[in-house]
Copies of this chain bind each other. A is one copy, B any other.
């Protein structure tokens, strides 16, 4: 019998934002009940202490410890399938690296995300820009060495990559310059060098043929699906870093995918392949966060 486990990993250090922890808890609470056990991966809760920048990554030590904790839990259960509720994107490394071993280096991975998560942004220094890089044996050396069998680049597809307008691109690069953020190699350069296939949301709205061809040509049998919720249009789904009602976000472009399109894509992938991994990440439910904080201060609720 196929054994599936659910992991709840309320990791926040990879995005250096404690709200990711609550986003993970709510996400797991929203998931349909079934027989899959829900296992908590221990994460050091935010205690008010700012993270140290350790060798170019905020909270590197905590992130490495948590990666190892997730690995131990997965090794304890040895599942056939894993569902991961994050937390920041970096939570995906342990389950997907395990699944690639479990399926003898043949795992396919579709990275549904407004960002490709391949490279380090020097000066931004948050680990959640790196999980796909790590899984390919690149990214950050200390993290990549925890991936025993790197994924094959031809087995990876990036879907929903944001396509900023020229004006937006100019705006972001100005912000980057102002903040002193640089990359050694850009995401686009890594994608080209490794020959990773991609499709933007607009292309996928017209047709998902490019994904079907990738599945066929790369012979993908077992598939892991990564979803960074920021692939969604923040006007329709507002529980995203980009959609903070109190502060604009201008470090990167927002997604444009609609929820029915995302669901349709997941269903298609589930028909064409054996989906053995699913990760959902970067849930930032502003309203629930603000309402929880309000309730937490109402006297009659706190006697």
Q: Kindly list the 10 A-B residue pairs having the minimum CB-CB distance in the complex, ordered from nearest.
A: A270-B299, A239-B287, A30-B292, A236-B245, A31-B295, A32-B296, A275-B300, A278-B300, A238-B238, A263-B294
A77 interface hit (Cβ, 8 Å)? no
Interface residues of A in 262-283 (CB under 8 A from B): 262-263, 266-267, 270, 275, 278, 283
Q: Known: A237-B245, A298-B278, A300-B270. Is A291-B81 also a contact (CB below 8 A)? A: no
A122 interface hit (Cβ, 8 Å)? no
Number of interface residues, chain A, beta carbon within 8 A? 45
**Residues on B with beta carbons closer than 8 Å to the beta carbon of A303:** 2, 4, 34, 36
**Alpha-carbon separation in the docked complex, A285 to B26 (Å):** 12
**Residues on B with beta carbons closer than 8 Å to the beta carbon of A83:** 300-301
**Alpha-carbon separation in the docked complex, A278 to B298 (Å):** 10
> Residue on B with the closest CB to A25?
B29
Q: Is the CB of A302 within 8 A of B32?
A: yes
B-facing mask of A111-135, CB < 8 A → 1, else 0?
0000000000000000000000000
A297 interface hit (Cβ, 8 Å)? yes
- Residue pairs across A and B with Cβ atoms less than 8 A apart, 6 shown, are A27-B291, A30-B292, A34-B302, A81-B300, A266-B299, A278-B298
Contact of A245 among B235, B283, B287, B296 (CB under 8 A): B235
A165 interface hit (Cβ, 8 Å)? no
Contact of A30 among B262, B270, B288 (CB under 8 A): B288
Q: Is the CB of B290 within 8 A of A287?
A: no
A39 interface hit (Cβ, 8 Å)? no
B-facing mask of A70-97, CB < 8 A → 1, else 0?
0000000000010100000000000000
